[in-house]
Every structure is written in structure tokens, then in C-alpha cells.
Chain A
């Protein structure tokens, strides 16, 4: 019996489960609903454009040319961090392949023993000891894995995400292990930008009032300074300020304790009867360093690489001989041998993973 090998290349991101959208050949990964993300972009770009168009010329001349320069730098950083947060993989855990899922099922059944008919089987929990505390790992029925510590399943994206923080609609993506620091830096720089624009708007109005008198500043005639736009900017900045600065403060608190939003909401480490956070180093600086200056984690989903699916087709020949190498496809003397299932063999995955670019 000889085998004919047919290979077919398939882009991995084409067949990934979960509700994500991919762009740029799998390099960009976002959630499906992107409407609020476009709103975020519009608000930031719109407000900054108004600032650069109307306030900056006056301030550059009357105060200092460094003001618009610094604003441009801040604006570029905000956009860079926003896009980095939105487009990067938050740390999605790939679902278990059938063999792994079966292996886990068999382990669970062996652990549970015989459950009498009519009784519900016990919940699927695995206890692990981390830094001398017992942490319960839950089983994910969608991904068919026991979630690693701090991972959680996002129902919007339908993926398990490592070190899941929360799903942010403003950013159009989940915030997890891989993009948490970009998200934090985005909120921080956005707070700074908002405060900056707010402050200089006020300064601008004050300076104009001093120059022309307050009532003249308010009057709008063609060719003069449009006060309505400044009001618009101030309003946007005011409301943004409270929410974004508050959010930055909240995340600074979380980082200093090495907690995620998910754990904070669920109250995993608070309360007397609950265990203490086993991931915290009990030192604010160490916690901050780990979260913000830790290594840049790799993607688990290799959306860029190709998976070479090998189809082993058993070909029928008259007399099975290992040395015969000429396949004759449809000659049948024996009953047809079963076709072997597609075999994504481990070594090809190793080859593709060496060749992968991301």
C-alpha cells in the first residue's frame, strides 16, 4: 500500500473560531463591533484639528511656538497608542484541538468517577497552588480548556484571553496581557492631551479677552475668531477629562496592586475570607515594573503563518508491497481502504512556526 501526499496551504486566520475581524493579512485583529472605535477616533482627531486650526496660530504667536509642537507630539503618541491597543492581539488563547479536548475530558471523567444517573456532575474546576495560595482554574466549555490563571472568556469576542482585563468598546478590542500597557499609556496620554487642550483653550479665551475685551471676544463676525468652536472644544474636553482621568487613576491603582479590572469587579482578592492576590509582589514599584516594563509577549494565534494540511490518501494496489511506488488510483480488488483524515502533523507546525514572521 502506498500513500500519495497532497499539500494545501491555508491561511490560519481564515479558519479561526471566535468573533474577530482581521485585516492586513492577519496583522490587524479587532472585535466585530467597531462603531464606538470610529467615534473615539473622530472625537480625538476632530477636537485636535480644531485646536490646531484655531487656537494654535494665536498661541504660537502670542505665547510660544513650543505649544503647538508639544501638542502635535502628544497627539501622535495618543493615536499611536490607540491604534496599537485596537489592532493588536490581546493574548487570545487558541482553542483546544480535538485530541487535547478528549484528553481533558478523559481526565475529568477519571477524576469524577461514576456519577449516579439524575445527578449533576460536579463543576469542572482544577485547583493549583500559586505562591502558597489555592487558585481555582475554571473549565471553558467553548474553548474546551481549563483556563490558565487570570484568563477569562470574553463573550463579545468569543475567545479566552490571557490576563483578561475588560472588553473596551472605545478601543474596539479586548484588553489583555499583550495590549494592557498600550491601553494604559493611551488613557494616560489622552488625559494629558485633554488637560493640555482644555488649559490652553481657557488661556486663549483669557488672553483674547484681555486684548480685545471680553464682549468683543464673544461677538462673532466673519473674519474674526470663532468662539463657538472653542466652546465646543471646551465641552468635549470637560466631559472627556472626568471619564478619562478617572479611568487612568483607576488603572494606576490596579497596576500598583497587580490586579485586573475583571478581578476587581468580581472581588476575587478582596474581603476577609478570600485569599490575598497571589500575583502581587507586595511592592508598588515591582508591580508597576512587571506590568509596564515586562517582556513583550508573543502571539499565540499565528494568523500569519500557513498551516500545511497533509492529506494522506491511501491508494489501492493489487498486492500490498512496501517497495511498490507506482500508485494506481482506482483499481479495486479489495474492499476500499478507509481514507485517512487530514493530518496536520506536528513537525509541519514546527516548520511553519520557524518561518513565521509574527
Chain B
């Protein structure tokens, strides 16, 4: 029952939102931004496990790079402090640069991998870095009841 969409435009215009899955944060290493790589059951019929895990792992690596505390972050911090943080009026912080890379990566993943399978990833920054929201779309022609068809098993173990 795989629904085929050729691009994001087609998805937008001919699909209806069936469900949303939320990938939660993984706090085992502390408060640094990291998402769980556990494969949700709702996506089992939609996408291969390895593709999903690759996406989440790459995102985790991006966030680790942004939040790394090392030479570069010290330099940036000290320079900014010495100029009373006025330097950020003209310069972009390292975190913002990485966030732009992440947004590009998510856009590319959506176009190449997720949209053809009727899925869409929302950038976690839009949700306060709490969850990765994956929207599951159904083809309007094929689904009988489009809104609120929740097939959540509710058993994503905690």
C-alpha cells in the first residue's frame, strides 16, 4: 500500500495528513541535543529502517558539532565577550551556521527520500529542539477517512 509521490509539490496538493510521529530526545549523554534512533512502529510499512536511522544519526552528528565545547567555541566566546557581544551584529554564530546546514540537509532528505514515500520531516528547531516531527501523508484518492485516522499503537516503550 505504498503511496507514490513524485515531488513535494504533488505531496502538498494531492495528499492529506494522516498522522504524525514524534521522535523524542535522547538524554542519556546529558542535555546536549541528541535524538533517539529507535525506529517507530508507524513508519514500518513506509520507509526502510536503515534510511531512517541514517537520517537521525546524521542530524545527531550535526548537533554534536554545533554544541562542541573546544578551541573554536572558546575563541568565539572570548572574542564576543571582549566586544561586549556587539560582534554578533555582523557575524553569525557557529551554531547558526550549523543550523543552516541542518535545514539544507533536511530539505534534501525530504525531497529525495521522504516525500516520495509520503513522509515529511520538520526541522526540530521549529519545535524547540524537543522532537523530530515526521508527518505521514495519505493519498487523498485512496484514503476514505482522511482526518484523525490515528493508528498509533501507543506502545512506544518508555
Binding site for B on A (CB under 8 A): 3, 76-77, 80-81, 84, 93-94, 96-97, 99-100, 103, 106-107, 109-111, 126-131, 135, 145, 148-150, 163, 182, 185, 278-279, 289-290, 292-298, 300, 302, 322, 340, 343, 345-347, 349-350, 353-354
A12: min CB distance to chain B, Å: 10
Binding site for A on B (CB under 8 A): 8, 12-13, 16-17, 20, 22, 25, 27-31, 66-69, 73-74, 76-78, 80-81, 84-86, 88, 93-96, 99-100, 103-104, 106-107, 110, 120-123, 125-131, 133, 135, 141, 150, 152, 154-156, 158
**Are B8 and A148 in contact, CB atoms less than 8 angstroms apart?**
no
Partner of A346, one of B84, B104, B133: B133
Given A111-B158, A279-B31, A350–B123 Cβ distance below 8 Å? yes
Q: How far is the CA of A140 from the CA of B155 in the complex (A)?
A: 22
**Are B95 and A350 in contact, CB atoms less than 8 angstroms apart?**
no
Cβ–Cβ < 8 Å partners of B67 in chain A: 294-295
**Are A296 and B20 in contact, CB atoms less than 8 angstroms apart?**
no
**Are B125 and A129 in contact, CB atoms less than 8 angstroms apart?**
no
List the 9 closest A-B pairs by CB distance, nearest first. A110-B154, A80-B84, A293-B77, A300-B128, A346-B122, A296-B93, A93-B128, A128-B27, A94-B128
Can you give 30 A-B contacts (C-beta < 8 A)?
A3-B13, A80-B85, A99-B20, A100-B22, A100-B133, A107-B156, A109-B154, A130-B31, A148-B25, A148-B31, A163-B31, A293-B77, A293-B78, A294-B67, A294-B73, A295-B67, A295-B94, A298-B96, A298-B125, A300-B125, A302-B125, A302-B126, A346-B120, A346-B121, A347-B12, A347-B120, A350-B103, A350-B110, A353-B103, A354-B104
Cβ–Cβ < 8 Å partners of B156 in chain A: 107
Q: How far is the CA of A130 from the CA of B158 in the complex (A)?
A: 15
Partner of A80, one of B8, B31, B86, B155: B86
By secondary structure, the A interface counts as mixed
Q: How far is the CA of A340 from the CA of B103 in the complex (A)?
A: 28
- Beta-carbon nearest neighbor of A355 in chain B: B103
**Are A294 and B77 in contact, CB atoms less than 8 angstroms apart?**
yes
**Are A295 and B93 in contact, CB atoms less than 8 angstroms apart?**
yes
**Are A353 and B126 in contact, CB atoms less than 8 angstroms apart?**
yes
**Are A103 and B20 in contact, CB atoms less than 8 angstroms apart?**
yes
**Are A107 and B158 in contact, CB atoms less than 8 angstroms apart?**
yes
Cβ–Cβ < 8 Å partners of A300 in chain B: 125, 128-129
Q: How far is the CA of A22 from the CA of B86 in the complex (A)?
A: 20
Cβ–Cβ < 8 Å partners of B69 in chain A: 289-290, 293-295
Cβ–Cβ < 8 Å partners of A163 in chain B: 31
Cβ–Cβ < 8 Å partners of A107 in chain B: 154, 156, 158
Partner of B154, one of A106, A297, A349: A106
Partner of B73, one of A126, A150, A293: A293
Cβ–Cβ < 8 Å partners of A135 in chain B: 27
**Are B152 and A103 in contact, CB atoms less than 8 angstroms apart?**
yes
Given A109-B154, A347-B120, A297–B131 Cβ distance below 8 Å? no
- Beta-carbon nearest neighbor of B75 in chain A: A293
**Are B154 and A289 in contact, CB atoms less than 8 angstroms apart?**
no
16 extra interchain contacts, Cβ-Cβ under 8 A, other than A84-B84, A293-B78? A81-B85, A100-B22, A100-B127, A107-B158, A126-B158, A128-B27, A130-B28, A145-B130, A148-B31, A149-B27, A296-B88, A296-B95, A298-B95, A343-B17, A350-B110, A350-B122
**Are A149 and B125 in contact, CB atoms less than 8 angstroms apart?**
no
B40: min CB distance to chain A, Å: 11
B115: min CB distance to chain A, Å: 8
**Are B125 and A353 in contact, CB atoms less than 8 angstroms apart?**
yes
